[in-house]
A = this chain, B = another copy of it.
């Protein structure tokens, strides 16, 4: 019996379509919700009580195979019984009703909760700080980076100067220093102000927001299939690393950290080689900047390893690794004690995370290890990639630049035009498959970790059915 069958004996064999999408019930509910909440982005209204495993139900009786999974966020399928047990546990109930200010009044179970998250930490990381959203996780990491950078400049043990304490209250240097985070074109790191200043995937994400003047390097744009373009792609790595080197040397303000996704997800599932990432690691060391790896979307098993950057065997390990989505709990891992600010109450806020969501993350990590679900994702991903590669030969306009080989189910491909892509995303729902896009012209697969070969078959059949109509 497969892991999925053990969790979900009642999971159906395939999708069920009962109405157009969105159906009449969904349309009514979206309109009504719109009176009090921005419901314009809603695709349909879900019935989560009837959703199960890899299948999401809507209020019109449709049941979709879900390979988007709440924007890459459902780790172990809908209504997973192991997570239901965690949600019903006494410690979860207490975390919900007695939400502690974890910094001032940690509970007797706080260390246990945190150590459960550390059990699945990236290689080399042994401490963490917790937050609430992906943007929050990244901005908390920025804070740690800027404090670390200024500590270096100020000298260990040095107190804040009177000039610093006075100027910071006016939002002026030196207390509020001109420092930057370097990120990449096509990167997505969140939509608050500092995180949006690091984001560079689409104008709509940040239009009209005041921004910090932070630089963007180019992220490699590879030619596919990779095997056929080794030399060109290697030159592309070198070209992009040279840009990073130049920016680190010559940007108009000092750069405290380089921030990068192991796979640029929102920006188009853009991959880069282990050599590129090791090159980044080397450049940050050479220039005295930190390396922050944003694993908000790539982390927690979906690429066949618990953390996607572990594919690169970086040495030394990244300085900080941010997380959320499939982990359901936000924050960053780190290992260097110098990244804990020298004074308390600097990396601090009322709650310092949400123990309820952290308890859930502990349960998610436990299940992934217990059932070796990252390895299973790798196996299923290989199976699915093989099928898609064959289809790609048949439908070159609809399945170009297939990406994600050896990255489990973290697979994407490109359409000839954004219009074709958008039509495909909509048509897939009509055959009972909920699937998502990235960039303007690509599709990204983000199934759960209990997505197995039989689900891959349903997905492939659905794609074939839609493409046959084109």
List A residues at the B interface (Cβ < 8 Å): 29-30, 32-33, 35-49, 51, 56, 59, 70-71, 73-74, 78-80, 83-84, 86-88, 90, 92-94, 96-108, 110-111, 114-115, 118, 126-136, 139, 142-143, 146-147, 149-150, 160, 164-165, 168-172, 175-180, 185, 190-194, 197, 200, 203-204, 206-214, 216, 324-325, 328, 340-341, 343-351, 354, 356-357, 360
Contact = CB atoms under 8 A, between A and B. Distances in A.
A365 to B, nearest CB: 15
Contacts of A87: 92-93, 96-97
A325 B214 CA distance: 33
B84 A127 contact: no
A9 B149 CA distance: 53
A111 B37 contact: yes
Contacts of A139: 192-193
B105 A42 contact: yes
Given A38-B347, A325-B350, 6 more contacts: A42-B105, A49-B90, A51-B98, A150-B208, A168-B208, A169-B200
Nearest to A117: B36
Nearest to A143: B209
30 contacts: A29-B111, A37-B102, A37-B106, A37-B128, A37-B129, A38-B341, A39-B106, A42-B103, A42-B104, A44-B105, A45-B110, A46-B100, A46-B105, A46-B106, A46-B107, A46-B108, A48-B108, A83-B96, A84-B93, A97-B360, A133-B351, A146-B209, A149-B208, A169-B185, A171-B213, A175-B203, A176-B210, A191-B349, A193-B193, A210-B212
Task: Give the top 6 A-B pairs by smallest Cβ distance, nearest first.
Answer: A40-B344, A193-B194, A176-B211, A171-B211, A87-B96, A132-B132
B79 A171 contact: no
A38 B177 CA distance: 24
A171 B211 CA distance: 5
A42 B93 contact: no
Nearest to A94: B48
Contacts of A191: 143, 348-349
